[in-house]
Structure 1
Amino acid sequence: MASTAHALHILVKHKELAEDIIQQLKKGAKFHVLAKKHSSCPSGKKGGDLGEFKRGQMVPQFDKVAFGAEILEPHLVKTKFGWHVIKVLYRT
């Protein structure tokens, strides 16, 4: 079982915008460009890059996707912070 993950994310307030971002990604848009444009998280300035983090460092809903969802695919998850579009780059 993986103990660390490296992910990118885009944090927005509205589900509709998050869903639109996922559609743009599926059509070939660059994650880092959309993160810089839309993300309300400070990581948006770095293209949404959260770096590598350990299991349990993120809120439970985020962790579930980071350690359980398909790698390199955009995923939508709601947390107390808002709506996240998450792309897991790898797990170790």
Structure 2
Amino acid sequence: MASTAHALHILVKHKELAEDIIKQLKKGAKFPVLAKKHSTCPSGKKGGDLGEFKRGQMVPQFDKVAFSGEILEPHLVKTKFGWHVVKVLYRT
């Protein structure tokens, strides 16, 4: 079982925007470009890169996707912070 993950994310307030971002990603848009444009999280300035983190460091909904969601696919996650588009780069 993986103990760390490395993920990118884009945090927005509205589900509709998050869904639109996923559609753009599936059409070939670059994650870092969309993160810089839309993310309300400070990580947006770094293209949404959260770096590597341990299991349990993120809120439970985010953690679940980070450690069980398909790698390199955009996922929609709702947390107390808003709507996240999450892309897991790898797990170790």
SS at match of 2:89: strand
Q: Distance in 2 between matches of 1:14 and 1:55?
A: 26
- Is 1:86 aligned to residue 92 of structure 2? no
1:74 positional shift: 0.1
SS in 1 for 2:67: helix
Q: Does 1:31 align with 2:24?
A: no
TM-score by length of 1: 1.00
Secondary structure, in 3 states, of the residue corresponding to 2:57?
coil
String of CA shifts for 1:22-71, please: whole Å, max 9, x gaps: 00000000000000000000000000000000000000000000000000
Structure 2 unaligned blocks of 5 or more: none
Same amino acid, percent of matched pairs: 93
Gaps of 5+ in 1: none
TM-score (normalizing by structure 2): 1.00
Q: What is the RMSD computed on CA atoms of the aligned residues?
A: 0.1
